[in-house]
Amino acid sequence: MDTQVVIIGSGPAGLLLSRLLHLNGIANVVLEHRSQDYVLGRIRAGVLEMGAVDLLHEAKVSERMHIEGLIHEGIEISFEGRRHRIDFADLTGGKSVMIYGQTELTRDLMDALAEDGVPPRYEAEVVAIRDIDGPRPTITYRQNGEEHDITGAFVAGCDGFHGVSRASVADKVETFERVYPFGWLGVLSETPPVSDELIYANHARGFALCSMRSKQVSRTYVQCPLTNNVEDWPDDRFWDELRKRLDREAAEAMVTGPSIEKSIAPLRSFVAEPMRFGRLFLAGDAAHIVPPTGAKGLNLAASDIRFLFRALLEHFVEGSDAGLNAYSQNCLSRIWKAERFSWWMTTLLHLFPDDGPFGRKLQLAELDYLTQSRAASTALAENYVGLPFD
């Protein structure tokens, strides 16, 4: 089989690229190692920058998001028993973020591609990527016990941190990584959110975050040791610990309930350079990971796809490779800024075992300055809502 673009991975990055290419008449095939149900079962991010929202609108999959999503014009920072609001709209000239779960976004893209008659090929395991330096790379994949070959002009590796795309060029990649000495225990529950906006809490017992997926579904987190297991955290223990890390008003307002999903996620910062290898382009988690503190993971994936889609459109429609040649540089410029912001938010809000009392005092001084200084608050707000592309 032959196509124009082979996309490996059916997460939001791969699906969004497929949809945008399809709408513009560029043939593509999405190969996904897992089942459709498995992909939809992954519970991930829920904060979208307006740049990502605009791209979903361009892909014509934003209707349900605009009905069910929540516009947030700020966040709250909690420390020493008090909450302080960072007003995005005031500090950035009216900008905001959209709360809409990655699972719902993925479902919207899946439904659109199915309606177009070009759904991903699920349970199709890529076993080889060959000839990426030639004019027509070949992808070999295994499905239903049989191997198949597909060729294309370009390959988009959107298959995540553990995927085959980056692994296939491991000898050519330079990686940069920082692994954090703790994880996030996350709970999804059918309970109303604690507050109308996200609460980021710095506490002597550790970090906590009160987020949401809707007005009826909460997504909450507490920092925990990486040695912990989910079984160590029955629901009652989780809610009790979360309550201890919040200010009194939030703790009293919190509604508890049985968990729908519970997991512990490690935190890491990771970047692979470059992001182009001949006709193979890495995008999303295949090229970079950020700790979730800054809400940048899904937004960086959308940013990569924005650059890659426009570059491919320029190639196929205008016959220019300028965008393809600049892809890695354009992406990495935004990625490293997001890595810096996510690292800063993580170090500001979490309890680091080796920092001791001195480190704790520095955190509190930084938080006090952040919430008292308009310049410092503006810097946080500008990064949180998303830096400009140009």
Model pLDDT for residues 228-284, shown as the tens digit of each residue: 999 999 999 999 999 999 999 999 999 999 999 999 999 999 999 999 999 999 999
Answer yes or no: is pLDDT of 42 > 90: no
Q: What is the pLDDT of residue 390?
A: 74
In the chain the domains, ranked by start, together with CATH numbers, are: 5-50+60-69+101-176+268-345 (3.50.50.60)
pLDDT confidence bin for 1, thresholds 50/70/90: confident
As given in the structure block, the two tokens for residue 3 are 């196509």
Catalytic residue among 33, 203, 296, 350: 296
The pLDDT > 90 percentage for the chain reads 97
- Give the C-alpha separation, 36 to 9, whole Å: 11
For residues 173 and 166, the answer to whether their CB atoms sit within 8 Å is yes
Pick the catalytic residue from 33, 72, 262, 288. Answer: 72
Active-site residue flag, 200? yes
**Residue from 100, 122, 180, 200 carrying the catalytic annotation:** 200
72 is catalytic: yes
pTM assigned to the model: 0.96
Specify whether 296 is catalytic.
yes
Tokens representing 219 are: 């997504």
Looking at residue 247, what is its pLDDT? 97
Q: How far is CA 78 from CA 41, 75, 169, in A?
A: 31, 10, 43
pLDDT of 97 above 80 = yes
Closest CA to 222 of 289, 285, 161, 267: 267
Give every CB contact of residue 66 below 8 A, 6+ residues apart in sequence.
none
CA angle 267, 271, 276 (to 5 degrees): 145
Choosing from 203, 292, 327, 350, the catalytic residue is: 292
pLDDT band at 320 (very low <50, low <70, confident <90, very high): very high
pLDDT, tens digit, 9 for 90 and up, residues 119-131 = 999 999 999 999 9
Q: How confident is the model at residue 189 (pLDDT cuts 50, 70, 90)?
A: very high
**pLDDT above 80: residue 45:** no
Q: Please name which of 147, 150, 100 lies closest in space to residue 302, comparing C-alpha atoms.
A: 100
Please give the average per-residue pLDDT across 92-99, as a whole number. 97
How do 199-202 and 208-212 pair as beta strands? antiparallel
Among 145, 167, 64, which residue's Cα sits nearest to residue 108? 64
Per-chain mean pLDDT for the chain: 97
Confidence of residue 219 (pLDDT cuts 50, 70, 90): very high
The 10 Å Cβ neighbour count of residue 386 is 23
Q: What is the 3-state secondary structure (H, E, C) of 172-234?
A: HCEEEEEEEEEEEEEEEECCCCCCCCCEEEECCCCCEEEEECCCCCEEEEEEECCCCCHHHCC
Do residues 193 and 99 lie in contact, with contact meaning Cβ atoms separated by under 8 Å?
no
Average pLDDT over residues 295-304: 97
Model pLDDT for residues 351-375, shown as the tens digit of each residue: 998 999 999 999 999 999 999 999 9
384 is catalytic: yes
Considering 100, 221, 327, 384, which one is annotated as catalytic? 384
- Residue 41 in this model has a pLDDT that exceeds 90: no
> In the chain, how many H helices and how many E strands?
13, 19
